[in-house]
Structure 1
Amino acid sequence: MKTQIYPYKQIIAGAIICSFIHACRCPHNKSKNTEAWNNLTVVDNHNVVFNIYNDDDSTTVMHRKGAGPFSHSHKNFIDTIKIKFTPVERDSIYKLAKAIITNPQQRISGCTDYVGSIVLMIDYGAYKSPGSYRLTGEYSGVCKWDTLSIACATLNKLLYRHVKFN
């Protein structure tokens, strides 16, 4: 007597194999890289803004002349320049900024709330798009923020290495 193989078993087995192969190839099933930052913004003392993009080697730096907490001028002149960071420099800036945000440094003494400040913002994904988030840290009244820690001093040196304002 001959055993008959039913065709629906072959179809089900084929469907299972195809779905397994498809699931392995789909990019939505891969784990998300939490280090895939999109944009990093550094605001130094309310008057210098660095916008660094992970997928672009150019960085926009805006310098507001006459801006600041003690400025009485109603006009701020903005000087915008573009600088280039290498991928290694961008990664170093990102790692330093993240370390400064996630490992805050406490000053024993400080200045008034208006002297010495830095704001660090790291966007993961396009800002305010579904699934995106922002990691933010802010120090104010710290006199010179680049003296808070070794990471702050290194970040300051990296950011201002290529910057020359008129």
Structure 2
Amino acid sequence: MVTRPTATVTITIDAHSDLVAEAAALRAEEKRLALAAARTGDDIDPRADEVQARLAELEQHIAEGQIHVRVRTLGHGQYRNLLKNHPPKPDDEIDAKFGYDVDTFGAALIRAVTVNAVDHAGGLVDLDLDALLDDDEGVSPFDFEQWFRTALALQTQGGNRVPLLRAS
């Protein structure tokens, strides 16, 4: 039996956007304090320890809102069938360029290659792919794109490139 390559993608399921913004501000403050100390030759500002402690706390909370999804490549025939089921739309230049229906192939590939997911503590997560891939309520466009690109790159590595399909 062949062991197919796998990869892991981190997906945010609870954005904590307020915490993300605060963490970004603290990272900027941390850099500012380090640069100020480097310029003056002084010791690092004592506030740097406070900033680092708060940043570590925020990063823990942010990580709690993420899952780590494992994807595994499909066999050559399975991948080819997936492409056949999502052919380029006739007269669509973008679809023709990529060789598949860009509106449907991404979610289909993600569904086909996703194996499982774990939370920040390593516990298995019950995946509801319909909910995660929902256009309105699912993962962010950034996370979808990252998930799709990881799956596609993993699928096409090592020469497992199926010839592009043509619109009928």
TM-score range, shorter chain: under 0.3
Compare relative contact order (CA 8 Å, sep 6+) and give the higher one, 1 or 2: 2
More strand as a share of residues: 1
**Higher-helix-fraction structure:** 2
Computing the radius of gyration from Cα coordinates, the structure with the larger value is: 1
